Amino acid sequence: MAEQEPGATGTTGPAAGSGGQGEEPIPFMQQVLDSPFLLLFIGVTMPTVFYILWGVINITSIPLAN
């Protein structure tokens, strides 16, 4: 377990701009996780495409009986 834990020792997140002595850039994944509306977009799009749209396409491509 050699991974670095961000914020493992401090009480505030590493994204805290004030008071941090390092100018360390915020990691990409953390930026993603800190963007609620991006997550909202992903969380609605994924099931809409893979579950609903794909399912609807499946159903509409069933040939109608004559």
Q: Which residues bind other proteins (CB under 8 A)?
A: 1, 3, 5-18, 29-30, 32-34, 36-37, 39-40, 42-44, 46-48, 50-52, 54-56, 58-59, 62
Query: What's the closest the beta carbon of residue 61 comes to other proteins, in angstroms?
Result: 9
CA 28 – CA 56 distance, rounded (Å): 35
C-beta separation of 6 from 13 below 8 A: yes
Query: What's the closest the beta carbon of residue 66 comes to other proteins, in angstroms?
Result: 17
Query: What's the closest the beta carbon of residue 14 comes to other proteins, in angstroms?
Result: 7
Displacement of CA 45 from its chain's centroid (Å):
11
SS3 61: coil
